[in-house]
Amino acid sequence: MEIDISGAVQGFVQDVEKQVASRAERAAHVIRKYELSVLSNNPKRSGKVYRKPASNKTYTASAPGEPPALRTGDLRRSFRPLAKSEIVQSAKHYTPGIRTDVKYAPLLEDGTNRISPRPYAEEIKQKAFPEVKAIFEEKYT
């Protein structure tokens, strides 16, 4: 004999799944906030000073090991929180995050045979983690 209450529990499970998906989306926005912070020019970078093309202004590039310096802002503006359809994956696995389609983003992160890495992803994750963790530790209703 089986005593099954899955019907009674199913609504609760669906509510919790919706809350988790919502929290994953909120967490993605938190990650985006820290991405904007890490890829800003604050603190100033310590690399070589260059003249901006077609102007008399200059900017200080990042040194190896520093997050990329802000020159045009294209990389910084390109990151977007994952869409809900991207957050919800197979087997009810929720992954909050951000993504960019800028082709040079991984080249800056990992470096090439011509430039040293300008890592930024790990710093973003470390700064965002406490706030993301707090989002998922909130009481489920």
The sign of the torsion formed by the CA atoms of 36, 77, 24, 18 equals: positive
pTM of the model: 0.85
Calculate the CA dihedral of residues 74, 79, 83, 87 and round it to 10 degrees.
160
Q: By three-state DSSP, how is residue 107 classified?
A: helix
Each residue's pLDDT tens digit, 53-109: 888 888 899 999 999 998 889 999 999 988 766 655 555 667 789 999 999 999 999
Confidence of residue 9 (pLDDT cuts 50, 70, 90): confident
Please tell me whether the peptide bond between 130 and the residue prior to it is cis, using omega within 30 degrees of 0. no
Looking at residue 86, its pLDDT comes to 62
DSSP letters, 9-44, are HHHHHHHHHHHHHHHHHHHHHHHHHHHHHHTSS-SP
